[in-house]
């Protein structure tokens, strides 16, 4: 069942697909910086990482036991432990040294016999050698100059640890863009139970998760009164490259974002999107080069806008490449929007998606039961394919 819905009193705005693409394409990655490898976790590599040293850096024992040369039984001539600063003496045929896992293997050693495969009597050790030497040879895993991770790879903790293992101390990465959030609305409270006429802010977990997923980093998060002077001051005193303003992007008496940015000669790249919910969303760039994303104050509409504009903008700034949205057949009932797209919560089932009923601009209840949002164009019919936006 399909029910057309429209509101001729509102301007249509950009088509949703164009607005989403604009947020990907209008920015560019932040200039690369050099960071210590341990501080680079969760950043995107701007240059490939190559090994500086071999791994292992020396012939090392893979087991606790005895390093031996020649045929046995062997005469034990010493002991070597992991971290010993002096290299062990070369072994002659018939010699053995007791050795710990990770210790340098003496020159001349042909194998390490594990303790459990040996019998020692005094200074003589006997045992049977197999085809396994239990020696990690220098460079058998990585040689100097070998590619460890290409540009465009996210530095995970594992990548950072592997880089440190092969002598990498610093890497070139794209900085994670900082995001300051200004929550407008005299009725909004950031903490605690709302009083009469008040509502609790819900954007903190949403924006935090979307920012982190896109490669950004949340900075200041504060409420601003419904007053143009307060909004001017808050915008002017933020030094983050991205500023998110919630609840002031429409044309109501308490919505001052357009006027404040126009006063500052901002360039508007998106000013309204032809979708329901989430029409009054915006993307602008100030004269001094900062990005401003305007989100509607209604929670579900704001979530739609954050996935439409904020996530792709941050992804680009953090160095990520645009990837096509997943597409799946969507079944169910939706009130379509002839002037653009209807964006509905869906749960993924059996290779497709099913609409979760009850979505409203001011409520997140239906979205909380969903896996994704489906973007339904005006010609959608149940069972037809639609792009999906992954929920945070």
Residue 260: which domain range? 14-30+175-317
* Same-domain status, 254 and 270: yes
Query: Domain with 159 in it: what CATH number?
Result: 3.90.105.10
> Nearest 5°: CA angle at 81, between 77 and 83?
135
Per-residue confidence (pLDDT) for residue 249, from 0 to 100: 62
Is residue 249 one of the residues assigned to a domain? yes
* Same-domain status, 216 and 293: yes
* Same-domain status, 37 and 166: yes
* Same-domain status, 243 and 373: no
Q: pLDDT (tens digit, 9 = 90+) per residue, 272-287?
A: 999 999 999 999 999 9
* Same-domain status, 280 and 232: yes
Domain-ending residue, one of 102, 127, 152:
127
Is residue 21 one of the residues assigned to a domain? yes
Q: pLDDT (tens digit, 9 = 90+) per residue, 104-162?
A: 999 999 999 998 888 998 999 998 888 889 999 988 889 999 999 999 999 999 999 99
* Same-domain status, 209 and 298: yes
Per-residue confidence (pLDDT) for residue 1, from 0 to 100: 36
* Same-domain status, 185 and 73: no
Question: Using CB atoms within 10 A of its CB, is residue 273 exposed (0-12), middle (13-18) or buried (19+)?
Answer: buried
* Same-domain status, 228 and 257: yes
Q: Please tell me the total number of residues recorded for the chain in this structure.
A: 392
Q: Exposed e or buried b for every residue in 138-154, given b needs 16+ CB within 10 A?
A: bbeebeeeeebbeeeeb
Domain-ending residue, one of 317, 348, 366:
317
Q: pLDDT (tens digit, 9 = 90+) per residue, 235-271?
A: 999 999 999 999 866 555 456 898 899 998 999 999 9
* Same-domain status, 294 and 359: no
Is residue 341 one of the residues assigned to a domain? yes
* Same-domain status, 385 and 302: no
């Amino acid at each position: 069942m399909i029910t057309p819905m429209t509101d001729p009193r509102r301007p249509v705005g950009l088509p949703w697909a164009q607005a989403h693409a604009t947020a990907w394409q209008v920015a560019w990655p932040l200039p690369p910086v050099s960071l210590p490898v341990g501080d680079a976790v969760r950043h995107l590599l701007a240059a490939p990482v190559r090994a500086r040293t071999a791994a292992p850096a020396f012939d090392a024992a893979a087991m606790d036991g005895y390093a031996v040369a020649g045929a046995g039984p062997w005469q034990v001539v010493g002991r070597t432990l992991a971290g010993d600063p002096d290299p062990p003496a070369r072994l002659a045929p018939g010699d053995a040294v007791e050795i710990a896992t990770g210790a340098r293997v003496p020159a001349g050693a042909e194998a390490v016999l594990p303790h459990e495969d040996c019998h020692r009597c005094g200074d003589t050790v006997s045992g049977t050698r197999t085809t396994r030497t239990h020696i990690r040879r220098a460079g058998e895993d990585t040689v100097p100059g070998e590619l460890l991770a290409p540009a465009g790879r996210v530095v995970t903790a594992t990548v950072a640890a592997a880089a440190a293992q092969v002598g990498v101390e610093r890497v070139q990465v794209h900085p994670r863009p900082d995001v300051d959030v200004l929550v407008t609305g005299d009725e909004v409270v950031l903490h605690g139970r709302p009083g009469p006429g008040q509502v609790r802010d819900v954007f903190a977990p949403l924006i935090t998760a979307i920012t982190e997923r896109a490669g950004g980093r949340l900075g200041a998060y504060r409420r601003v009164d419904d007053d143009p002077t307060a909004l001017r001051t808050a915008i002017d005193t933020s030094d983050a490259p991205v500023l998110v303003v919630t609840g002031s992007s429409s044309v109501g008496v308490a919505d001052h974002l357009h006027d404040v940015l126009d006063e500052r000669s901002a360039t508007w790249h998106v000013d309204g999107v032809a979708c329901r919910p989430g029409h009054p969303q915006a993307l602008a760039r100030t004269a001094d080069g900062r990005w401003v994303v305007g989100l509607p104050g209604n929670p579900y509409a704001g979530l739609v806008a954050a996935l439409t504009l904020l996530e792709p903008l941050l992804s680009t700034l953090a160095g990520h490449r645009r990837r096509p949205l997943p597409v799946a057949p969507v079944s169910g009932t939706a009130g379509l929007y002839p002037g653009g797209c209807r964006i509905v919560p869906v749960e993924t089932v059996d290779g497709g998606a099913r609409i979760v009923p009850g979505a409203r601009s001011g409520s997140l209840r239906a979205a909380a039961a969903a896996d994704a949002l489906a973007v339904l164009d005006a010609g959608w019919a149940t069972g037809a394919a639609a792009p999906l936006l992954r929920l945070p």
